[in-house]
Amino acid sequence: MNAIQNKISKERFNILCMKALDNEFNSDNEILEFQEYIKKIPEFKTEYEELKRIKELTKKMNLRSPSEDSWKAYRMKIMNRIERSIAWIIFLAGCAIVLAFGGYKAIEVLLNNSQLDLILKIGIITALSGGLFLLLSVIKEKYTLWKSDPYKEIEK
């Protein structure tokens, strides 16, 4: 048998092996095909026997219920995360209000300053607006990347 046939044969055996372990054969032909693999290829028989033992062992295993202290620690961790999330939202809302009001007052002072030329006023306001949009764009991008980062829960 060449490498491709070996690979196909191994894949087919894996499918039949899982069906045998779960007792989910669709036909007598599948049973006969599986038995043929087991007879002809010793490695397949060994693999099937090992998987069968593992299945039996896992059936005998009992999961231990977490202690009350574990549940209490888990609930505290969740509460801390919720509290911090709410605190960050309130803090950022306050900062946004202060920045918006400060920006409004700065533009008001700038527009009321008679010593500056109109073109300079427009240039300053345009530069500040562009900087603000750029900052918001970077914040949005970083937040989006952070939200979809599959490794964010991993401690470094």
Q: What is the mean pLDDT of each run of 10 residues along the chain (156 residues)?
A: 67 90 89 89 91 90 84 84 91 93 88 86 89 92 85 70
pLDDT score of 1: 53
H-type alpha helices, the chain? 3-22, 28-40, 42-60, 68-112, 118-147
What's the CA gap between 67 and 124, in Å, rounded?
62
- For residues 44 and 37, the answer to whether their CB atoms sit within 8 Å is yes
Token code pair at residue 50: 């090992």
Distance between CA atoms of residues 20 and 35, nearest Å: 10
User: What pLDDT score was predicted for residue 87?
Assistant: 93
Q: At what angle do helices 3-22 and 42-60 cross, to 10 degrees?
A: 30
Per-residue pLDDT at 9: 84
